[in-house]
């Protein structure tokens, strides 16, 4: 999709809405590979120069999310990507799989999640 100020704002609004539903602090959002490369290296370690390959990348330790807007083909994929990445932030212990996909579907349908509590 083509990045313009309206789309940027629409993405940040969606991130705000889903972050509040998922009870997570709103992550800082990067929308271009240039912005990824401009971040301090320690924040994007592991997926820095490879970030362009993905629709989205979560940097969990730093509450940072890359949404690869130019690579994303349409509105539906955009919404999916936002929710996918924010589910990573809310369920940091969970890797991809059926449970993860179910949570994404629930998130897309508007489900709210209570705050994440670290088990000690
Ligand atoms: Zn993922």
Q: Which residue has the higher pLDDT, 34 or 118?
A: 34
- Residue 49's CB is within 10 A of a number of other CB atoms, namely 10
Integer Cα distance of 99 and 15 in angstroms: 22
Residue 116, domain member (yes or no): no
Residue 56 is encoded by which pair of tokens?
A: 């989205």
Task: Report which of residues 32 and 119 the model is more confident about.
Answer: 32
14 occurs within a structural domain: yes
How far is the centre of ligand 1, averaged over its atoms, from the C-alpha of 56 (Å)?
7
Q: Within a domain: residue 119?
A: no
Over residues 46-70, the mean pLDDT reads 96
On average, the pLDDT of the chain sits at 96
Query: How do residues 60-80 score in pLDDT, each as one tens digit?
Result: 999 999 999 999 999 999 999
85 Cα: distance to centroid of ligand 1 (angstroms): 6
56 falls within a domain? yes
Residue 95 lies in a domain: yes
Strand partners, 56: 67
Domain membership of residue 96 (yes or no) is yes
- Ligand 1 centre from 57 Cα, in Å? 7
- What tens digit of pLDDT does each residue of 80-119 get? 999 999 999 999 999 999 999 999 999 999 999 999 987 7
Give me the domain span that covers residue 14: 5-108
Within a domain: residue 44?
yes
What pTM does this model have? 0.96
* CATH value at residue 52: 3.30.2010
CA of 73 to the centre of ligand 1 (A): 18
**Total of domains in the chain:** 1
pLDDT above 70 as % of the chain? 98
Asked if the structure places residue 115 within a domain, the reply is no
């Amino acid at each position: 999709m083509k990045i313009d100020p309206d789309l940027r704002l629409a993405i940040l609004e969606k991130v705000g809405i889903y972050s509040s539903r998922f009870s997570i602090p709103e992550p800082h959002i990067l929308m271009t590979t240039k912005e990824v490369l401009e971040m301090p290296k320690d924040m994007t370690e592991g997926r820095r120069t490879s970030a362009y390959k993905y629709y989205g990348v979560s940097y969990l330790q730093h509450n940072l999310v890359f949404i690869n807007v130019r690579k994303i083909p349409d509105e539906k994929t955009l919404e999916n990507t936002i929710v996918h990445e924010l589910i990573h932030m809310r369920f940091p212990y969970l890797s991809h799989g059926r449970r993860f996909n179910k949570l994404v579907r629930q998130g897309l349908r508007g489900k709210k999640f209570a705050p994440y509590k670290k088990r000690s």
